[in-house]
């Protein structure tokens, strides 16, 4: 029974945890986390990885600030990806929110996270 | 209305009649209610009208006329009574009606407003048939003589005979023809003007959601003149950033500056496609202290850039280029003469690189050159090898693979006899003339340090020859890299000899295309080559799930990649015991 429950839940919007290397921990909807290909694969319930069982993705490479921006982009994309073609995606506003100091670090993280 | 214009001119009379409410429709209605076969003389006006309106369809008209006149001449007397009854009308002009329908269909697509016109058209056929009955009531039976209404000559009535216009009477054949009414003319096939499908230009703007990486690159480009704002770059891995930016052709003249600096000595750009000649020139100006430069996809590298590089980059010792197509021999020679200290020179795909270039390179850098890569150089020939011989005692890396024409065996053996003793990497791929002799007399005799060997697509090699070579190649340490793919005849003997010689240290093995090798021999890979990182078993028909499983299980844990393209017995149904490994298996067909 428990098994079945878990599966139906994982298809829906259950929460997953993403941890940074400096002790920050973020809870996001699985739907949002799945925007990153790397996180999606790690948390895939059929993969059998320990991450999937604990529903926790530990991003050892990144500090909290970077994770925060990654998640910000993921929420941004999750929100605007579905809007109709006429609605404008405020990309520029999002660009404004990325500080130049972290952009290289963020680029590497984004590359690794396939997004 | 436009439709009428197409079909022919309308006379003033027609216009007048139409204005006073007399159209073909009304005439037809009137005649239908009057219920009489032939109209009296009062009809002549309408006749003219109709003739005008329908001048074009002469043949059809003629046909109808003949038919109706037949009727009138009494062959089908019972039809005489009501020519306007609907069923008969249809009989009369079925073809015409079909035509009409077609036209109507086209028209309605074209323009829905012209409804009235359609009505008119629908009735033209009918009224015309009426007119021929009415206007020339006595078309003589076919075969009779008649007098032409125009030239007054006697002629024989045929079924093609056309009524005079205006009537009464009939025209002889020459007159009918000269009046522009060719009786034999096939009914003009309605022009297949394609219904101009109003191209519904759907504004399908495919919106790709910008990736975070692309957004970051945008920001980098924005701050490219103020690099300090991007934080301390030194702590980050520039090579990883270079790789990330090079994806999706994102590296441009604008953001390439990120990697430049006077302190930079090693520069690698993985996709220089978008770097213009100007950008490539500035690259040299901004990085004066470069010692190692690698550019992939540098298709825009031109003579001008090479001459700029010749004047700058004084410390450059290693140059690696992928795709410098445009550079001409004088530019190469100029560059080599200005850089006499090159240690590493590797180019791929340069159809203009000729023997003069290699001569200059080797004479100028003879004391220093250690690595030479001339891959996919179209002009490579025995003369090149003669030059390479001069690098005796220092050359460690030699790649002369993928020529357009194979060098001769004699020249290769001759070259190996002088340079092979120091080589650690050798690639002779696709020199199709190479046979077992080169292995025996060139490599076995002279080489003693090779760790990486490329022997792809050498069809002259035999199983026994390769087996013999590896069994007796004791002077050379085991290989770590071996590409001996696409040699179809190699088999068990060669593989076992390779594994016996190098199995203990092999990290990459490519035996793609050994089609006849069996499962049993392949399983030896798993037993003997346990340090493999990458293995390509593509198109080895003997490979099955057990082979792959044995390779994975026999491996010590470093295996990263197994390619099984074209191995159609592999189903991917093995289960591997032990710890989870990050192995990528490519090419399983059932997936």
Q: How close is the nearest chain A Cα to the Cα of B530, in Å?
A: 26
Q: What is the pLDDT along chain B (591 residues), one digit of tens a residue?
A: 444 446 566 788 888 888 887 878 778 877 777 655 544 454 444 444 554 444 544 445 445 554 444 444 445 545 455 544 444 444 445 555 555 655 555 555 444 444 444 444 545 444 444 444 444 456 777 888 888 877 888 888 887 777 777 667 787 878 877 777 666 666 566 666 665 655 565 555 556 788 888 888 888 888 877 777 777 666 567 888 888 888 888 888 888 888 888 888 999 999 999 999 999 999 999 999 999 999 999 999 999 999 999 999 999 999 999 999 999 999 999 999 999 999 999 999 999 999 999 999 999 999 999 999 999 999 999 999 999 999 999 999 999 999 999 999 999 999 999 999 999 999 999 999 999 999 999 999 999 999 999 999 999 999 999 999 999 999 999 999 999 999 999 999 999 999 999 999 999 999 999 989 999 999 999 999 999 999 999 999 889 899 998 998 888 888 889 999 999 888 888 777 665 567 888 988 876
Cα(B232)–Cα(B221) distance, integer angstroms: 16
Q: How many CB atoms lie within 10 A of CB B187?
A: 13
DSSP string computed for B144-167? -EEEBTTT--EEE--TT-EE-SS-
Distance of CA A27 to the CA centre of its chain: 9
Q: Can you tell me whether residue B562 is helix, strand or coil?
A: strand
CA B487 to chain centre: 30
Longest dimension (CA), chain A: 50
Assigned architecture for domain B212-369: Alpha-Beta Horseshoe (3.80)
User: Quick check: A35 pLDDT over 80?
Assistant: yes
Handedness of CA B485, B488, B492, B494 (dihedral sign): negative
Residues of B in contact with A115 (CB under 8 A): 211-213
Q: Best of A81, A103, A112, A114 to disrupt the B interface by mutation (most B CBs within 10 Å)?
A: A103
Q: What is the spatial order of strands in the sheet that A15-19 belongs to?
A: A25-29, A15-19, A56-58
Which residues does chain A have within 8 Å of residue B215's beta carbon, measured at their own beta carbons?
A: 73, 91, 94-95, 98
Q: Is the peptide bond before B168 cis (omega within 30 degrees of 0)?
A: yes
Q: Where are the beta strands (DSSP E) in B291-369?
A: 292-295, 318-322, 344-348
Q: Does B236 touch chain A (CB under 8 A)?
A: yes
Please give the Cα distance from B331 to A13 (Å, whole number): 62
Q: Please give, rounded to a whole number of angstroms, the shortest distance from the CA of B571 to a CA of chain A.
A: 19
Q: For residue B160, what are its two tokens?
A: 């093609």
**Minimum-distance CB partner of B230 among A100, A108, A110:** A100
Distance of CA B552 to the CA centre of its chain: 39
CATH architecture for segment(s) B462-591:
Alpha-Beta Horseshoe (3.80)
Closest chain B residue to A84 measured between Cα atoms? B207
Terminal CA-CA length for chain B: 64
Looking at residue A3, its pLDDT comes to 43
C-alpha Rg value of chain B to the nearest Å: 44
* φ/ψ (deg, to 5) at B452: -135, 125
What DSSP character marks residue B195? Answer: -
Token pair, residue B46, equals: 């309408």
Interface of B with A in 206-235 (CB under 8 A): 207, 209-213, 215-220, 222-223, 229-231, 233
pLDDT score of B70 = 47
Residues B379, B354 contacting (CB under 8 angstroms): yes
Q: How far apart are CA A104 and CA B573, in angstroms?
A: 42
Single out the residue of B297, B298, B306, B295 nearest to residue B329, CA to CA: B306
CB contact under 8 A, B244 and A102: no
Q: Give the nearest partner residue to B219 out of A49, A73, A95, using CB atoms.
A: A95
Residues near B18 by beta carbon (within 8 Å), at least 6 away in sequence = none
What does CATH list as the number for A2-112?
A: 3.30.710.10
Q: What is the pLDDT of residue B196?
A: 61
The Cβ of residue B480 has, within 10 Å, a number of other Cβ atoms equal to 18
HSE value, Cβ hemisphere, 13 Å, CA-based, for B44: 7
Token pair for B554: 């026999």
ipTM for the complex?
0.84
Residues of A in contact with B222 (CB under 8 A): 100
Residues B56 and B54: their CA atoms lie apart, in Å, by: 5
Contact A108 B209 (CB under 8 A): no
**CATH 3.80.10.10 region(s) of chain B?**
462-591
Residues of chain A with C-beta less than 8 angstroms from the C-beta of B213? 107, 110-111, 115
Interior angle at CA B525, CA B524 and CA B531, nearest 5: 135
- Cross-chain Cβ contact A107/B245 below 8 Å: yes
Q: How far is CA A111 from CA B61, B223, B253, B259, B483, in A?
A: 78, 20, 21, 18, 31
CA B225/CA B219 separation, integer angstroms: 11
CB contact under 8 A, A85 and B207: yes
Q: How many CA atoms does the CB half-sphere of B284 hold within 13 Å?
A: 20
pLDDT band at A79 (very low <50, low <70, confident <90, very high): confident
Q: Using CA atoms, how far apart are residues B337 and B221, in angstroms rounded to an integer?
A: 37
Whose CA is closest to B227, among B250, B257, B253, B251?
B257
Q: Where are the domains of chain A?
A: 2-112
3-class DSSP state for residue B481? strand
Predicted confidence at residue B31, as pLDDT, reads 76
CB A73 within 8 A of CB B209: no
């Amino acid at each position: 029974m428990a098994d079945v429950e878990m599966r139906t839940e994982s298809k829906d919007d259950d929460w997953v945890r993403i941890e940074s290397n400096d002790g920050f921990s973020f809870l996001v909807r699985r739907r949002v986390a799945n925007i990153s290909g790397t996180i999606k694969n790690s948390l895939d319930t059929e993969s059998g990885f320990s991450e999937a069982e604990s529903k926790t993705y530990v991003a050892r490479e990144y500090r909290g600030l970077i994770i925060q921006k990654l998640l910000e982009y993921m929420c941004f994309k999750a929100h605007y990806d579905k809007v109709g073609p006429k609605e404008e995606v405020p990309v520029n506003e999002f660009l404004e929110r990325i500080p130049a100091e972290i952009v290289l670090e963020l680029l590497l993280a984004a590359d690794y996270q396939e997004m | 209305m436009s439709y009428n214009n197409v079909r022919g001119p309308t006379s003033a009379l027609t216009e007048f009649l139409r204005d006073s409410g007399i159209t073909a429709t009304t005439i037809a209605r009137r005649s239908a209610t009057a219920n009489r076969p032939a109209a009296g003389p009062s009809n002549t006006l309408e006749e003219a009208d109709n003739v005008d309106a329908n001048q074009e369809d002469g043949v059809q008209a003629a046909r109808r006329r003949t038919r109706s006149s037949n009727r009138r001449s009494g062959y089908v007397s019972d039809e005489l009574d009501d020519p306007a009854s609907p069923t008969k009308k249809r009989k009369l002009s079925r073809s015409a009606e079909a035509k009409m329908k077609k036209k109507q269909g086209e028209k309605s697509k074209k323009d829905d407003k012209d409804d009235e016109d359609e009505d008119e058209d629908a009735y033209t056929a009918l009224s015309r048939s009426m007119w021929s009955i009415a206007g020339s009531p006595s078309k003589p039976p076919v075969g009779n003589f008649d007098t032409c209404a125009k030239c007054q000559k006697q002629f024989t009535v045929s079924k093609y005979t056309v009524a005079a216009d205006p009537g009464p009477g009939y025209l002889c054949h020459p007159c009918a023809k000269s009046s522009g009414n060719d009786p034999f003319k096939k009914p003009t096939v309605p022009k297949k003007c394609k219904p101009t499908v109003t191209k519904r230009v759907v504004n399908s703007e495919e919106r790709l959601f910008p990736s975070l990486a692309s957004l970051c690159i945008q920001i980098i480009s924005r701050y490219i003149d103020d690099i300090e704002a991007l934080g301390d770059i030194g702590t980050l891995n520039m090579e990883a950033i270079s790789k990330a930016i090079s994806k999706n052709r994102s590296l441009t003249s604008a953001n390439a500056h990120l990697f430049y600096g006077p302190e930079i000595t090693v520069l690698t750009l993985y996709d220089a496609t978008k770097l213009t000649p100007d950008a490539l020139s500035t690259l040299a100006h901004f990085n004066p202290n470069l010692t190692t430069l690698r550019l992939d996809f540098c298709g825009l590298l031109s003579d001008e850039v090479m001459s700029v590089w010749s004047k700058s980059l004084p410390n450059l010792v290693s140059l690696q280029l992928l795709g410098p197509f445009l550079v001409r021999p004088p530019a190469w020679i100029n560059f080599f003469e200005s850089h006499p200290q090159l240690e590493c020179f590797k180019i791929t795909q340069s159809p203009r690189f000729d023997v003069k270039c290699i001569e200059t390179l080797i004479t100028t850098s003879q004391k220093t050159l250690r690595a030479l890569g001339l891959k996919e150089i179209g002009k490579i020939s025995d003369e090149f090898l003669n030059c390479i011989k001069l690098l005796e005692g220092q050359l460690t890396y030699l790649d002369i693979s993928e020529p357009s024409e194979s060098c001769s065996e004699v020249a290769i053996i001759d070259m190996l006899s002088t340079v092979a003793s120091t080589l650690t990497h050798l690639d002779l791929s696709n020199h199709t003339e190479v046979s077992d002799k080169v292995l025996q007399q060139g490599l076995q005799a002279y080489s003693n340090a090779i760790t990486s060997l490329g022997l792809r697509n050498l069809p002259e090699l035999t199983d026994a020859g390769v087996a013999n070579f590896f069994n007796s190649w004791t002077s050379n340490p085991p290989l770590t890299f071996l590409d001996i793919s696409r040699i179809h005849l190699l088999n068990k003997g060669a593989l076992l000899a390779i594994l016996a010689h190098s199995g203990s240290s092999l990290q990459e093995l490519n035996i793609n295309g050994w089609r006849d090798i069996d499962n049993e021999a392949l399983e030896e890979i798993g037993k003997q080559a346990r340090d493999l990182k990458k293995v390509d078993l593509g198109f080895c028909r003997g490979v099955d799930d057990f082979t792959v499983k044995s390779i994975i299980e026999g491996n010590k844990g470093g295996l990263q990649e197994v390619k099984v393209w074209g191995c159609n017995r592999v189903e991917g149904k093995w289960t591997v015991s032990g710890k989870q490994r990050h192995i990528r298996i490519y090419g399983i067909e059932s997936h």
